Every structure is written in structure tokens, then in C-alpha cells.
Structure 1
Amino acid sequence: MEIQIDHFTVVLAAVLNMVIGFFWYSKWLFGPVWKKLTKVQQTASGWSLFYGFIVSLVIAWFLAFFEASLGITTVTDGMFVGFLFWLGFVATTQIGPVIWNKMPFRLFCLNSGFKLLSFLVMSGVIGA
């Protein structure tokens, strides 16, 4: 079985992930809360954004690979795969610092909520 990946859709999903992150962590939404909880004072540099985009591409490519392997062809099925990836890999690994390092649960919810939304959008776009 040959797996077909639409590279344009992978790039689009990665761009959407960056756009969601821009708004999620902006001063209009959760940026001030995130800065307070993390004690970060600076804004992202050009290199940070570049590396963030590379990470977004890797995530989008793997989502596309697994969705193609599973034969996903609808937005809702794609979003379900994204939810399962978030639950199985993201939420479970991000809860560790809350349990063992006393990271604020609110920070977990903020960061994990972003990842959930971005995984749902990316996997939905890829599944379409």
C-alpha cells in the first residue's frame, strides 16, 4: 500500500497551527495569563518562530501520514484522530510537570488547550 500525502495540505496545516498560536498567546487572548504563569517577559524572536514552524511541519506531516495510513477522508474523522493524538500523546506528556514539578494546573490547561485546538484544526484540514 502506497501512502499519498498532500504536501500543500501539510504546509497549510502547519501555517494554521502558527496562526492559532499567534492568537492564542496574544495580548487579546491568553498571552498575559501565560506570561504571568511562566514569568516570561520577552516576545518570540524570529528564530523561535522559524523553529516553531519547523515543529508545526513535523506534527502536520505525521498527522497526514497516520491519517493517510488509516484511510481518513473526512473532516470529522480527521478531527477524531487529532483528538486521540492529543489525548494519547500531548495531554499525557504535558500533565507530568503538573504532577511532579508543581507546574500550575492552569498553565497545563492553557498550553494543552492550545494543542487540542491546533490538533483538531490541523487534523481536520488534513482529513478533508
Structure 2
Amino acid sequence: MPFNFYAVLVASLVTLVVGFVWYSPKVFGNIWMKETGMTEEKAKQSNLVKVFGLTIFYSFMLAFVVLPNLVVHQMGAFGMVEGNVNDPAYIEFMKAHSNAFRTFKHGALHGFIAGLCFALPITAINSLFEQKSWRYILINAGYWIVSMTIMGAIICGWK
């Protein structure tokens, strides 16, 4: 199965772009800051190289390891032959189904489902124990749902 490394790299940057918009003061930034107790002064004390570097690294993990298995159905066949692309059954399967469901729309759907079924519960569970508000939960989970929707679209649709 041809693997598009450029799609993974671009998808890895989605979290930064979505975060720039999502957490801007004109969207949810002011509400998020209030809910977290973050201040402008505290934000300026962050090690931005560390924050952005690790954000890209973790986003790459999502885009490279997790999301392809959720948004590209052909990854199941690839896994069944343990990566042996010379397996005759795999070759026949790919001849018949190599581009089945490989669209941006389909990837967005599965990315959205992944965000809704993984990011929301994980965010909510941690936040409930931290005694955070539902506004906080929905802002952060919403960010991940939107990010994973776009990432899924890129990974699945960009062949």
C-alpha cells in the first residue's frame, strides 16, 4: 500500500493551526484562559520550544501510528499480512479495493468519530477528576474533535 508521508507530516501540523484559531481570544481563548486560570503573564513564562516541539511530536504520533489505522480501511489488510506486500492475497485485495473509501470526506468522518469516541472521553474523564467545568471539557475535546477530523481527512484522502 503506498504510504503518503507528506500527508502524515501535514496532518501533524494541523493541531498547531487549529489551536492557533481555536484558542485565539476571538474564538475560545478567553473562556479557556478563565476556565484554566491561565494568565497572559503565566503564558509568557512557557518554554515555547518545548511546548510546540512536543505538540508536533505527539501530533506526529497520532498522524503516523493511530489515525491511519482508524481512517484507512486498507490498513487492516496490510496488518493481516503482517506488512508483507508480496502476499498474493494482499495483492489481489489491493487490486480490487486499493482506493475504496479513500476520500477526504470518509477520512473526515472517521477522524470525527475517533475524536468523539477517544478524545472526548479521555478529556472528560481527566477533567472530571480535576474538577474542571463542562465548558473546559467541551472546549478542549472540541479542539481535538476538529483536529482529528481534519487530520483524518488529510491522511485518508491524500493518496
**TM range, smaller chain:** 0.7 to 0.9
Q: Does 35-44 or 117-126 show the bigger shift?
A: 35-44
Which among 75, 86, 101 is matched to residue 115 of structure 2? Answer: 86
Q: Does 80-89 or 50-59 show the bigger shift?
A: 80-89
User: Quick check: 1:21 aligned with 2:15?
Assistant: no
2-structure distance, mates of 1:38, 1:99? 13
Q: What amino acid does structure 2 have at the position aligned with 1:114?
A: Y
Larger Rg: 2
CA 65–115 in structure 1, closer or farther in 2 if over 3 Å, else same: same
Q: Can you give the 5+ residue segments of structure 2 that lack an aligned partner in the other structure?
A: 77-99
Q: Segments of 4+ in structure 1 off by > 6 A?
A: none
**Higher relative contact order at CA 8 Å, sep ≥6: structure 1 or structure 2?**
1
Q: What amino acid does structure 2 have at the position aligned with 1:126?
A: I
- 1:10-49 CA-partner distances (Å, limit 9, x unpaired): 0111112211111111223211111110012214522101
| Counterpart residue number, 1:60 | 63
The TM-score normalised by the length of structure 2 is 0.71
Q: What amino acid does structure 2 have at the position aligned with 1:20?
A: V
The TM-score normalised by the length of structure 1 is 0.87
Aligned pairs for 1:1-128 within 5 A: 3-41=1-39, 42-43=43-44, 44=46, 45-61=48-64, 62-68=66-72, 69-70=75-76, 72-128=101-157
Q: Can you give the 5+ residue segments of structure 1 that lack an aligned partner in the other structure?
A: none
Q: Identity across aligned pairs (percent)?
A: 22
Q: How many residues align?
A: 126
